[in-house]
Structure 1
């Protein structure tokens, strides 16, 4: 627990596989919480931050991951409330731009745009945010192309 964040459901599962009786496991977990080695709220914050910053996950996928860990609704909501909107949008933009660069067609067709939107939504970003960002990125790309044509003509 001192090396990396752990959550109580994971610790319960580990101790169960080790054959530790449930009562003893509960006492160990309570003692770890008293000594501040284990804190589900701190774990949820660290999980949300890591998955957003390093894995490029959106809120929906983070919620699913924390829910799968069987953390409390309060811990999940608090971890998400600490995500700054500006940082969230920047990461969503980075994820979408990376997918556009990776795509063979770019954003030239309706199908390619839908693939990019579906990808962003699979990563957990809300459809409203992903759609808005994709429109902004396409607009920026069109403006850049127009600027390049202007310079080329001169």
Structure 2
């Protein structure tokens, strides 16, 4: 394994950050893979943040936009993923503000409509419960899902 100087590590980290938004944890892991010591890692991360190669708020906003639009994740799954990256709550909240409620609702309806085609069950209630479980695993809340599952009467669903 090649030994890099701190300057080379910083240059590699800058190039890594330029390609796409990165969070501090991702960059720290990469620096560790490249052989940076803890002290070098901390100094390089501080420089990258100072030079705005890394910005946790900007990262959260980009992450939220990508995950709800392209991966079709719900808020809960997005929040969980960002928390696992040890990002500040304020930045996570700012990122969640990127969600357009109309677009989010449309995506949820599309997710449910697509899944409805492949869901089987003996009763409408059973099919609705399978849809509900599926959407919960995608990170949507039960209240959000209930609004769009049309195959079950309101009375059955409320229990």
TM-score range, shorter chain: 0.7 to 0.9
> Which segments of 5 or more consecutive residues in structure 2 lack a partner in the other structure?
1-16, 153-159
Which structure features the higher share of helix residues? 1
* Partner deviation per Cα, 1:81-124 (whole Å, 9 max, x = no partner): 2212111111111111110122245x952111100001011100
- Which residue does 1:13 correspond to in 2? 29
Give the 5 Å matches for 1:128-143: 128-135=143-150, 138=151
- Which residue does 1:119 correspond to in 2? 134
- TM, length-normalised to structure 2: 0.79
- Which residue does 1:72 correspond to in 2? 88
- Which residue does 1:99 correspond to in 2? 115
4+ runs deviating over 3 angstroms = none
Partners of 1:58 and 1:34 in 2: CA distance: 32
Deviates more, 1:49-58 or 1:32-41: 32-41
Report how many aligned residue pairs link the two structures.
Answer: 136
- RMSD between superposed Cα atoms in Å: 1.7
Deviates more, 1:12-21 or 1:117-126: 12-21
